[in-house]
Amino acid sequence: MIDLRGISQIYQGPSGPVEALRGIDLHVTPGEVFGIIGRSGAGKSSLVRVINLLNRPSSGQVWVAGRDMTRLPEAELRAARREIGMVFQHFNLLSSRTVWGNAALPLELAGMDGAQIRERVGPLLELVGLSHLADRYPAQISGGQKQRVGIARALASRPKVLLSDEATSALDPETTRSILELLRQVNRDLGVTVVLITHQMQVIKQIADRVAVIDAGRIAEMGGVVELFTRPREAITKSLIDEIVPQELPASVLSRVRQLAARLAPGQGGQLLRLSYAGEQAYEPILSHLIRELGLDLSILHGQIDEIQQQTFGSLAVYASGPMVRIGAAVDYLRGQGVAVRTVDVDD
Ligand SMILES: Nc1ncnc2c1ncn2[C@@H]1O[C@H](COP(=O)(O)OP(=O)(O)O)[C@@H](O)[C@H]1O
Ligand SMILES: [Mg+2]
**Each residue of 62-80: pLDDT tens digit?**
999 999 999 999 889 988 9
Ligand 1 atom nearest residue 46's Cα: 17
The protein residue with its alpha carbon nearest to ligand 1, atom 7, reads 11
Ligand nearest to the CA of 36: 1
Dump pLDDT digits (tens) for 72-106: 998 899 889 989 999 999 999 999 999 999 999 99
Cβ of residue 18 lying under 6 Å from some atom of ligand 1: yes
- Is 44 near ligand 1, meaning CB less than 6 Å away? yes
Give yes or no for residue 193 CB within 6 A of ligand 1: no
Considering every ligand atom shown, identify the ligand nearest to the alpha carbon of residue 89 and give its number. Answer: 2
Q: Is any atom of ligand 1 closer than 6 Å to the C-beta of 13? A: yes
- Are the C-beta atoms of 256 and 263 separated by less than 8 Å? no
Instruction: Specify the DSSP element, H or E, that contains 181.
Output: helix 173-190
213 lines ligand 1 (CB under 6 A): no
Q: What is the pLDDT of residues 178-231, one digit of tens each?
A: 999 999 999 999 999 999 999 999 999 999 999 999 999 999 999 999 888 888
pLDDT at site 281:
66
User: Among the CATH numbers 3.30.870.10, 1.10.3720.10, 2.40.50.100, 3.30.70.260, which is that of 251-344?
Assistant: 3.30.70.260
**d(CA 121, ligand 2 centre) in Å:** 29
Inter-residue contact 302 to 253 (CB < 8 Å): yes
Report the topology of domain 2-241: Rossmann fold (3.40.50)
Average pLDDT taken over every residue of the chain: 92
Q: Looking at the predicted structure, is the pLDDT value of residue 20 above 70? A: yes
Cβ(266) – ligand 1 distance below 6 Å: no
Determine the distance separating the centroid of ligand 2 and the alpha carbon of 248, expressed in angstroms.
28
CA distance 186 to 189: 5
Which of 209, 224, 164, 172 is CA-nearest to residue 33? 209
pLDDT at 348: 58
Ligand 1 center to 216 CA (angstroms): 10
pLDDT in tens, 312-321: 888 889 999 9
pLDDT digits (tens, 9 = 90+) for 138-162: 999 999 999 999 999 999 999 999 9
Ligand number, closest to the Cα atom of 167? 2
44 Cα to the center of ligand 2, angstroms: 5
SS3 285: helix
Q: CB of 46 closer than 6 A to ligand 1? A: yes
| Ligand 1 touching residue 217 (CB < 6 A) | no
In this model, does residue 309 exceed pLDDT 90? Answer: no
Residue 27: the pLDDT is 97
Question: Nearest ligand to the C-alpha of residue 37?
Answer: 1
What pLDDT, on the 0 to 100 scale, is given for residue 266? 87
Inter-CA distances, 333 with 27, 162, 295, 318, 340, Å: 35, 43, 13, 15, 11
More confident: 290 or 234? 234
- Considering only the C-alpha atoms of the chain, give the largest distance between any 2 of them, rounded to a whole number of Å: 86
Better-predicted residue by pLDDT, 226 or 134: 134
Neighbour tally for 83: CB within 10 Å = 15
What is the DSSP secondary-structure string of 292-315?
Answer: HTT--EEEEEEEEEEEETTEEEEE
The domain segmentation of the chain, as residue ranges, is: 2-241, 251-344
